[in-house]
Amino acid sequence: MKRLISIILCSLLAINLFAQTDTTKVGTKNKNVVTVIEDGKRTQVTVGNDRGVEVITDDWGDTTHVRIGRRTFRVIESENGTYVKIDKEERQKNWTGSFNPHWAGLEFGMNMFHKSDYSLYNNLEVPQDFMDLHYGKSITVNLNFAEWAFKNEANNFGLVTGLGFSFMDFTFDQPITIEKEGGSGIIMPVGLNPDGLKKTKLNVTYLTAPLILEVKTPLRAGNSRLYLAGGVIGGVNIGSHTKYKYRNDKEKSRSNFNLNQFKYDLTGRIGFGDFTVFVNYGMTPLFKEGRGPELHPVTFGFSFPNI
């Protein structure tokens, strides 16, 4: 190996396009193709830039380093023989907040229950499945007002978080409203006069925060790319009320209604440009265990991010 380095050095000195006392450079115009550096202790030959090929040998020729890109091959001569050790430089992950995510914006969705259990009321005289929903009027409106994202070097995926408000209406299909029995007991339905009843619902407001992985696909049209996203949305209940309305009268009642204080949803999203279709799949029951029917919401909707 020492002899090979000596031949390379002699050739470069013969060309002598650019030479200094300890450094010899061969190149075209301002671009160095080959650089040779001697400092009395080692000889270093570099071909190309800092990610090209580099050969380093010490003055005794005991160790030769050959670096190709992020891999370094060390040829070591010792009393026990010659062996090769290979090291790989870890790729630096450059995370930044400049990734363009699709969380902040306005969302609209329709609510339903993907799981329901009324076994708590088996021995009680209550309407069957009394919280069945009128789907056309059970609407969610999400106002996502803040977002932060961390992207990779290639700028094709990012980890997204942020903040938002979620206003969820659960509009009852039967002429009922709900209240806590005795003011502190389980949730019970209360019958309403169906004549002239326009709407009766439960409204719950959450402060939400997502943790979503968003991936940009190669599919594009103009400057817009198809993107996929999935993750978890956490929420904390910050207010709830029931409301029913007749033609000439309406009644509104505020309470916690035995609702769970915290929730989390699994979310899946697919979008193109500034339009997204999503589904939020509730993993937490709407009411506390044993204090109301076991109901798990699911929301199907669309959003307009970055408006």
Q: Name the β-bridge partners of 208.
A: 164, 235
**pTM for the model:** 0.68
Give the domain ranges of the chain. Answer: 2-88, 105-305
CB atoms within 10 A of CB 215: 12
Q: Which pLDDT belongs to residue 144?
A: 96
Q: Report pLDDT digits (tens) over 112-155.
A: 999 999 999 999 999 999 999 999 999 999 999 999 999 888 77
Give the C-alpha separation, 212 to 160, whole Å.
5
Below-70 pLDDT ranges, the chain: 1-71, 73, 75, 77-84, 88-99
Whether 26 and 33 have beta carbons less than 8 Å apart is answered as: yes
Q: Which pLDDT belongs to residue 44?
A: 66
Q: Which pLDDT belongs to residue 18?
A: 40
Give the C-alpha separation, 112 to 260, whole Å.
17
Give the pairing type, strands 197-221 and 18-19: unpaired
Token code pair at residue 235: 């929420």
Q: Which pLDDT belongs to residue 307?
A: 74
Give the C-alpha separation, 149 to 99, whole Å.
6
